[in-house]
Structure 1
Amino acid sequence: MNGWLLAAGITALGVAAVHIVGGRRDVVRPLLSCGIADEPKRVLHAVWHMVSVDLVLSGLVLLRLSLTGSTPGTDLVAWFVAAHFIAYATAFLVVTLSVGWPRPLLRLPQWILLLPVAVLAAAGAA
């Protein structure tokens, strides 16, 4: 068993749970009740669901990899998931820092949840 990948998978599923529960309350409900046009509203709603699925599947893949041992392709998939979460964290950091808010790193703190998954998955792949 690969403990790093196990920790990454559990953390990713925790991130998915926070995204689904917290995001529904703090992002989806306000989005659906705002006055923007229906098409962009529904696209953003679908993207939120896509991210939900992506986070859950990534967590499940990491859990599976943690149990399979070092089989061919395990490291490659783990590195892919690590890169994936680094990209997500980077996107939140770039958007947050480009707005010019005071204390920007705490306004959109999603990167704080995403980065540990990347680090744990990378440690498990190495």
Structure 2
Amino acid sequence: MNGWLLAAGITAFGVAATHIIAGHRDVVRPLLSCALSDEPKRVLHAVWHMVSVDLVLSAAALVYLALAGGTSASGPMAWFVAAHFLAYSVAFLVVTFAVGWSKPLLRLPQWILLLPVAVLAAAGAA
């Protein structure tokens, strides 16, 4: 068993749960009640659900890799998931800094949840 990948998978499930619960309350509800026209509103709603699925499947993949033992595909797959979560973190940081907010690191704190998964998955892949 790979403890790093197991920790990454458990953390990723926590990220997915936070996304689904808090994201529905803080993002989806306001989005669906705003004055944005229906097509972009529904596209953004669908994208939110796509991210939900992506986070859950990534977490499941990490747990599977942790418990399945080292196969020839374990390392590349773990690196892929690590890169995936790192890219999500970078996307949130770029968007946050592009806006020019004061205290930008705390305005969109999602990167704080995503980055540990990337680090743990990378440690497990190495």
Q: Give the TM-score taking structure 2 as reference length.
A: 1.00
1:59 aligns to what?
59
1:75 aligns to what?
75
RMSD: 0.3
Q: Give percent identity, aligned residues only.
A: 77
Please tell me the residue identity of whatever aligns with 2:81: V
2:113 aligns to what?
113
Deviation at 1:69, TM superposition (A): 1.0
2:32 aligns to what?
32
Please tell me the residue identity of whatever aligns with 2:39: E
Deviation at 1:81, TM superposition (A): 0.1
Matched, 1:50 2:50: yes
Show CA shifts across 1:44-93 (max 9, x none): 00000000000000000000000011111100000000000000000000
Please tell me the residue identity of whatever aligns with 1:39: E
1:98 aligns to what?
98
Deviation at 1:110, TM superposition (A): 0.1
2:14 aligns to what?
14
- 2-side partners of 1:58 and 1:11: how far apart? 11
- 2-side partners of 1:67 and 1:23: how far apart? 29
Deviation at 1:113, TM superposition (A): 0.1
- 2-side partners of 1:68 and 1:20: how far apart? 27
Show CA shifts across 1:100-125 (max 9, x none): 00000000000000000000000000
- 2-side partners of 1:47 and 1:24: how far apart? 13
Q: Which runs of 5+ in 2 are unaligned?
A: none
Question: Matched residue of 1:15: which SS?
Answer: helix
Q: Which runs of 5+ in 1 are unaligned?
A: none
The runs of at least 4 consecutive aligned structure 1 residues that moved more than 2 Å come to: none
